[in-house]
Amino acid sequence: MPDDVETIKNEALKELESIGEVKRLDEWRVAYLGRSGRLTAVLRTLGALPLEERRALGQRANEAKTALEEALAQREGVIREQEMAQSVAAGRIDVTLPGRSAPLGRLHPSTQMVREICDAFVTMGFQVVEGPEVEWDYYNFEALNIPKDHPARDMWDTLWITPPSESERPMLLRTHTSPMQVRVMEKTRPPVRVVVPGKCYRYEATDATHESQFYQIEGLAVDENITFADLKGTLYQFAQRIFGQGRKVRFRCDYFPFVEPGVDMSIDCFFCEGSGCRICKDSGWIEIMGAGMVHPNVLRKVGYDPEVYTGFAFGMGPERIAMLKYGIDDIRLFYANDLRFLRQF
Ligand code: DAH
């Protein structure tokens, strides 16, 4: 004879109260409401009872069943809420834990130097323009007053894409940024004031002071009445900005086919203040760029009348300038991608 419905119900409810985990609820459900559960056993006996009894017991058993099902649903809700609260508490973010900082990138020292130099000229009214690294022989040499077979070509060891011996229109990796002088003048009328930063390439054995790829910054100013005094004044201002107020500058004759007269510019050695050291090779002076008055042949090539227009040009290597500024003794460091070096800038 199965237990009394009330007894089963009370025991079931009591047991349910003591359950604290969702997975144990199912065991409870099987024990009371499952196919061979205790309440189900009562319902199974109904068929054998006389009508009156069957009705009465059936009603009580069904009420008990509904009550247990409701209690189960409610208990499950309570337990799930508790479990959620527990897991939130356990997984809580500790806001006092010190953060792990994400590694931050930075600008390459060459890029920093290029920007610093360009900025110095931008404040003096120059525009920044860029041009192709793969260049025609025409712009790299020909239009710069360096004709084919001219001995001055030896000044630039060239990486050819199609050499002059193989092509009517030879192509190369630009050996300097000077070709942009011609490209800019071809497209604009004076006044012209531009600086051109960019990568250059040379067929060169690398050593501490030579790389086969490096940056240059070219400058060009063309207008009526531009004189050598403008060149000196502009480059003097530049030297003050990059190397410090009070820096002295020195100009000496030099030869570049696309300028006349051509000069190289030095600053007084800021390591030894001019008394002589390893950096300035005991001369007291450090050479930092080539410059000069734009050659009339170059102006003619782009259709500028050299009787009306004059100009000055200059070219420098920002890596070399960074080496001087920061005491870096090997230019190859700029392209070696050694983080120990790069992180210092
Ligand atoms: N292009 C020259 C070089 O690579 C540097 C230079 C010298 C540029 C004199 C100039 C200049 O514009 O006037 O060696």
Residues 25 and 81 in one domain: yes
Residue 108 a catalytic site member: no
Is 285 inside any structural domain? Answer: yes
Q: CA nearest 257: which of 161, 198, 175?
A: 175
Query: What digits encode the pLDDT tens for the residues 69-118?
Result: 999 999 999 998 888 888 888 887 778 888 888 888 899 999 999 999 99
Query: Who contacts 21 (Cβ-Cβ below 8 Å, separation ≥6)?
Result: 79, 83
Residues 229 and 326 in one domain: yes
| Cβ atoms within 10 Å, residue 177 | 26
Residues 19 and 117 in one domain: no
Domain limits for position 62: 2-86
- Taking the C-alpha atoms of residue 262 and residue 291, their distance in angstroms, rounded to an integer, is 6
Omega before 191 within 30 of 0, i.e. cis: yes
Is residue 311 within 8 A of residue 192, CB to CB? The reply is yes
Residues 188 and 332 in one domain: yes
pLDDT of residue 301: 97
pLDDT of residue 241: 94
- Taking the C-alpha atoms of residue 268 and residue 279, their distance in angstroms, rounded to an integer, is 11
Closest ligand 1 atom to Cα of 316: 5
- The Cα-based distances of 165 to 160, 169, 274 in angstroms read 11, 10, 48
Residues 333 and 221 in one domain: yes
179 DSSP assignment: H
Is residue 265 within 8 A of residue 243, CB to CB? The reply is no
Residues 303 and 189 in one domain: yes
pLDDT of residue 1: 47
Ligand 1 center to residue 69 CA distance, Å? 93
Residues 193 and 264 in one domain: yes
Catalytic residue among 221, 259, 294, 298: 259
Residues 210 and 321 in one domain: yes
Q: What is the tally of structural domains in the chain?
A: 2
Closest ligand 1 atom to Cα of 155: 14
Is 145 inside any structural domain? Answer: no
Among residues 53, 86, 119, which one ends one of the domains?
86
Is 137 inside any structural domain? Answer: no
Residue 261, domain CATH: 3.30.930.10
**Considering only CA atoms, which residue is closest to atom 4 of ligand 1?**
176
Residue numbers of the chain with a pLDDT score lower than 70: 1-3
Backbone angles phi, psi at 164, to 5 degrees: -55, -30
Q: Is 309 helix (H, G, I), strand (E, B) or coil?
A: coil
- Taking the C-alpha atoms of residue 140 and residue 155, their distance in angstroms, rounded to an integer, is 12
pLDDT of residue 110: 96
pLDDT of residue 252: 97
- Taking the C-alpha atoms of residue 182 and residue 170, their distance in angstroms, rounded to an integer, is 17
Is 315 inside any structural domain? Answer: yes
Is 78 inside any structural domain? Answer: yes
Indicate the length of the chain as a whole number.
345
Residues 197 and 75 in one domain: no
Is 154 inside any structural domain? Answer: no
Residues 57 and 124 in one domain: no
Residue 176 a catalytic site member: yes
Query: Who contacts 267 (Cβ-Cβ below 8 Å, separation ≥6)?
Result: 239, 243, 247, 248, 249, 250, 285, 286, 288
Ligand 1 is surrounded, with C-beta below 6 A, by 176, 178, 218, 256, 259, 290-292, 313-315
Residues 62 and 122 in one domain: no
Q: Is the pTM for the entire model greater than 0.75?
A: no
Is 175 inside any structural domain? Answer: no
pLDDT of residue 118: 98
Q: If you write DSSP's letter for every residue of 107-138 in order, what string do you get?
A: --HHHHHHHHHHHHHHTTTPEE----SEEEHH
Query: What digits encode the pLDDT tens for the residues 52-81?
Result: 888 888 888 889 899 989 999 999 999 988
Residues 37 and 118 in one domain: no
Is 20 inside any structural domain? Answer: yes
Report residue 270 as tokens. Answer: 């800021």
